Structure 1
């Protein structure tokens, strides 16, 4: 049958081609082609079993998971349930508190202010001529307080804002407004080592950094983040937690052990800048990939400012200005009663992953907390180091 084409005379063959293409050009199907269905993701049992195995072991109801390869979102799932009472399935659109992974947004907000020429991370925060001046408190500032820089807030090396026993004050006086709390903090908190002499992970440092963002931008912290960080990367989902209740699509959280009743009875809004962001794994990973300096997806800062953002403190070689650095990897973890989150990027494989849970172990149990933290880290490391049979698709919105 096909051999018969060899016997068609050249003139006739030319005519046939002319008629064929003329008909094709005027075809209604050619003028109005049927949209091609986007390629869909297929479940990868090895990944699902890895995550659900951890969830089963540690009594975690639900998880939001996202994996990217070469900055394309190749795997996106909700696993388990968003609410145990209704058995509502967890989806990739559900929102969850991301706890201390919020700190990366604060660090980046400070870098955006530096980009705009409104500050330098070496600027002093308190005292005459400083970023916040003498605005807060009634007492004369000590030399210690006057020497704290913005960078030391982000590096957790301020040596300040602790109680008499040297502990974080973020949960103190929950009834106070932000300004009232700042006034109380400046008059009543204690200092330890001089600024820049010791590392101490303190949520209050990031609360103060958040107040710097609001002072210099003239905007609420979340409005500044939405304008300068979220909008440029096309993220309309991430927002900030509310004391008054959950956002639409936000999950129910489940505490464990001594924290079973501590999920909703603290001032989550006080954690703005330190741990109050609400997101999902897709949006969290989209944000993380805007910090990787690879150029596939547009970065949120110039290469010079990204290098500054990623600069670690010699006092804690894994800690930069709101993100963790592990060799060539960039990562961030978060933990609050009822939620744990994390993301990690591995340049050598081109893989990155984010995961958020709607429960957390009882982290007042130090050994259990360490065990679970390493278990979550092991999952992330597995996801960013093992190349699996991902389709060449991109599920980022």
Structure 2
């Protein structure tokens, strides 16, 4: 049964898609086990002008984390794992950078982002070919430095969900993608959902990935995210995600079939780690956030509300539920790094709950501009330095070479037509000088500082890259040249 209160939103969505250059937006709203609104707008394929429909597949990125938490909950129900037993009991060879964390980290720590290890996403992402297996990515964790103390503060980290997925594989002897298909997707009737990229590619009814580059919407390549497993490899449709949200609202039961105990669902949605939010980024309607297991507790206008966003090359996604009202909303978009889908979820809640109309897209855009201005002000001293201190007696060839970090892999610096080029995991970036040994690159649309370390003799020994803005620069040691 469709909710007529939402029909008036359709002209607004069409207008906002054009205004924010979003190729397509597919959404579904559920009340208990019923879809009360479903809408698909724009084009899943801009070149061929193909519209999306409720079965169109989109990568859902980090919305996968809530499904990984459920997979572990299924195993906990069966007595095969526990949230609070150190993970070395399941994977004895597991290591973290901090020896204490190695012996004490639990699934609760991993799933609630309280290990102290920051994103380190540059160590995870590889373009265009994935070279590491899930096992090899888990082994990388031993070389990823923490930014906060163990169990002290929130630090979002995809590697921990990869490790959690690997634990599922070790405990069950089944690949994570197979386990989630058999234990979650098939029982819920999610026929247009998978965790294997090949399934998405071979489906004609899929959204293409797009990104705004220099003010233009450009089609880009799909991210091969299979190795990221439970951190973000699932792709789905709004029709299937509506079933997922109804199951979640139903506390583990869907269409008369219980998949997991209600107690496990309570444990999954228990807030564990407070998420600090800068004052200038906060909305008064959402005064606090705390991470649960694959969900974020974020009360909305006084209503109990859980949500999670997702982002990957060419796509943005969002899911949210209000358990007491038995409402759920999912929105899938094929534009990278947009907040329109999240803004539309807030507008939908306001319409259903009877709150005054608020232009949420405009508010999110204003916040984005403030954040961008803060970032620009932060980088302004570097730009001034570049103008004043661009002279260096060092030849460009002095920087050329291969540099290595055990967690991140190999980085290469080469000289090309009086310029320095950094190649890292398939991405080439020009180094622009800030001062004598400091440069700047643009990586994933963000300015990043790169600086070189020297020995007591003045020889280049390492390159440091600010891949982690919240922590220390990542140091890559120079490889010694082998002469044969």
Q: TM-score, normalised by structure 1?
A: 0.74
Distance 1:196 1:209 in 2: 17
Map Cα deviations across residues 227-286 of structure 1 (whole Å, 9 max, x no partner). Answer: 111222121221024279724022111111379779426442232211111001121121
Map Cα deviations across residues 90-129 of structure 1 (whole Å, 9 max, x no partner). Answer: 1111100111111111111111110111100111113xxx
Structure 1 match to 2:237:
280
- Quote the RMSD (CA, aligned, Å): 3.1
Find out whether 1:342 has 2:314 as its counterpart.
no
Distance 1:156 1:95 in 2: 28
C-alpha change, 1:51 and 1:262, in structure 2 (3 Å) is closer
C-alpha change, 1:243 and 1:257, in structure 2 (3 Å) is farther
Match of 2:124 among 165, 170, 173: 170
C-alpha change, 1:184 and 1:353, in structure 2 (3 Å) is closer
Distance 1:271 1:171 in 2: 9
Gaps of 5+ in 1: 1-38, 364-368, 388-397
Contact 1:159 1:200 in 2 (8 A): yes
Find out whether 1:225 has 2:197 as its counterpart.
no
Aligned residues between the structures? 332
Instruction: Quote how far apart the aligned CAs of 1:50 are.
Output: 3.5
Map Cα deviations across residues 53-89 of structure 1 (whole Å, 9 max, x no partner). Answer: 3322211111222122232112223221110111112
Structure 2 match to 1:87:
49
Contact 2:29 2:38 in 1 (8 A): yes
Structure 2 match to 1:318:
290
Find out whether 1:253 has 2:209 as its counterpart.
yes
Match of 2:25 among 63, 72, 78: 63
C-alpha change, 1:86 and 1:193, in structure 2 (3 Å) is same
Instruction: Quote how far apart the aligned CAs of 1:377 are.
Output: 4.2
Contact 1:344 1:353 in 2 (8 A): yes
SS at match of 2:182: helix
Structure 2 match to 1:15:
none
Find out whether 1:385 has 2:347 as its counterpart.
no
Find out whether 1:109 has 2:71 as its counterpart.
yes
Find out whether 1:150 has 2:107 as its counterpart.
yes
Map Cα deviations across residues 292-342 of structure 1 (whole Å, 9 max, x no partner). Answer: 246674554212111111111143352111112223222221112311111
Find out whether 1:200 has 2:159 as its counterpart.
no
C-alpha change, 1:266 and 1:72, in structure 2 (3 Å) is closer
Q: Which structure has more strand as a fraction of its residues?
A: 2
Distance 1:143 1:40 in 2: 54
Structure with more relative contact order (C-alpha pairs < 8 Å, separation 6 or more): 1
Gaps of 5+ in 2: 276-288, 356-484
Distance 1:277 1:346 in 2: 23
Q: TM-score, normalised by structure 2?
A: 0.62
Contact 2:246 2:254 in 1 (8 A): no
Match of 1:214 among 163, 169, 174: 169
Match of 2:305 among 329, 336, 350: 329
Which of the pair has more CA radius of gyration? 1
C-alpha change, 1:374 and 1:178, in structure 2 (3 Å) is closer
